Amino acid sequence: MALGRARGRRASIDIWPGFVDALAQLLMVIIFILLVFTVGQFYLSDALSGRDEALKQLQQKISALADELALEKQTSETLRGNAAALMAQLKAAQDERDALNAKLAAAGQASAEAADLQGKLAAQQQATQAAKAEVEELTAEISALRDQLAKVAAALDVSNATVKNQQDQIVDLGKKLNMALASKVEELARYRSEFFGKLSAILGNRPDIRIVGDRFVFQAEVLFTPGGADLSDDAKKQLDPVFSALKEIAAKIPPDIHWVLEIDGHTDHRPIHTDQFASNWELSTARAISVVRYAIAQGIPADHLAAAGFADKQPIDNGTSEDAYRKNRRIELKLTER
């Protein structure tokens, strides 16, 4: 019985209205959602449409900017070309300016030179005027000199004959003088031959005293000790015949023949260096002077004597043997003119 009541209550409960209400609410929710979706879709479509429009406008702006950029690039290239051309023109202008400055400087220098030349020309003109005046003065002097020369020429013509006569006389006197000198030379040669002839007869044929050409030669050992320049008594005896013969011959020689007895000293080439003689020059000269002094002591006039030393510079034998040395050590006597 109880079970029957329960079934009767469940059968009596109606769920449809609740279901209908739920469906209605669900439908309203769905409708609301659809409405919201529709509105959202509308707004989204509108927004998308606005975005597309904005994007289109943006693309148009980008295109315009691209066009402007291309134009700017073209303008930039044009400006660059114009700038290069302007730089070339500027360089040409600078070169032309420099050339003009150089020309101006040259023109200034030329002006200074021209002014200097004008000054020099003025000075030259003054000098020319002075020179002209001097030439005129010199011309007058030359004319006067020509007159004087004409007078001198006339006087010279008169005296030419006298001059020629005098020249002939001078030539004749020269010839006579040469003949007289030749005669004196021949006469002195004759006395020299006589002098040497007497000496040869007196001294005989001695190898240490001989005649060589126009000279009478004593070997040094005949008169001097080795390295010495003093005449020994024996050496003086060797020289006595020479000076006796010379005095005999000198008494015959006319006073107008100016004779002299040269006495030359010679050594061999071996050097000497002592307290008395520093070299062969001193030794050869001292020996010649010793002979001169003895000649004066024997009565030979001093103004007819001469002494000279030749050291070893005029050898008669260039050998190196003792015989060659002996030949080169000598005293030479020569009767000659002063």
pLDDT greater at residue 223 or residue 170: 223
pLDDT in tens, 25-44: 888 888 888 888 787 777 77
**Distance between CA atoms of 151 and 144, rounded to whole angstroms?**
11
pLDDT greater at residue 32 or residue 213: 32
Query: b/e string for 42-72 if b means 16 or more Cβ within 10 A?
Result: eeeeeeeeeeeeeeeeeeeeeeeeeeeeeee
Q: Assess contact for 222 and 238: CB atoms under 8 A.
A: yes
**Tokens found for residue 59:** 């693309």
pLDDT in tens, 134-170: 777 777 777 777 777 777 667 666 666 665 666 666 6
pLDDT at residue 175, rounded to an integer: 53
pLDDT at residue 55, rounded to an integer: 78
**Tokens found for residue 71:** 């134009």
pTM of the full predicted structure?
0.45
Amino acid identity at 262: E
**Distance between CA atoms of 116 and 124, rounded to whole angstroms?**
12
185-337 belongs to CATH 3.30.1330.60:
yes
Closest CA to 293 of 263, 332, 328: 263
CA 223 to chain centre: 62
pLDDT at residue 180, rounded to an integer: 45
Q: Is pLDDT of 321 > 80?
A: yes
pLDDT at residue 173, rounded to an integer: 56
- The proportion of the chain whose per-residue pLDDT surpasses 70, expressed as a percent, equals 76
pLDDT at residue 268, rounded to an integer: 94
Sorting pLDDT into bands at 50, 70 and 90, what band is 181? Answer: very low
Amino acid identity at 31: I
3-state helix, strand, coil split of the chain in percent (to 5) is 75, 10, 15
| DSSP notation for 64-113 | HHHHHHHHHHHHHHHHHHHHHHHHHHHHHHHHHHHHHHHHHHHHHHHHHH
**Distance between CA atoms of 338 and 327, rounded to whole angstroms?**
28
Beta bridge partners of residue 309, listed in sequence order? 265
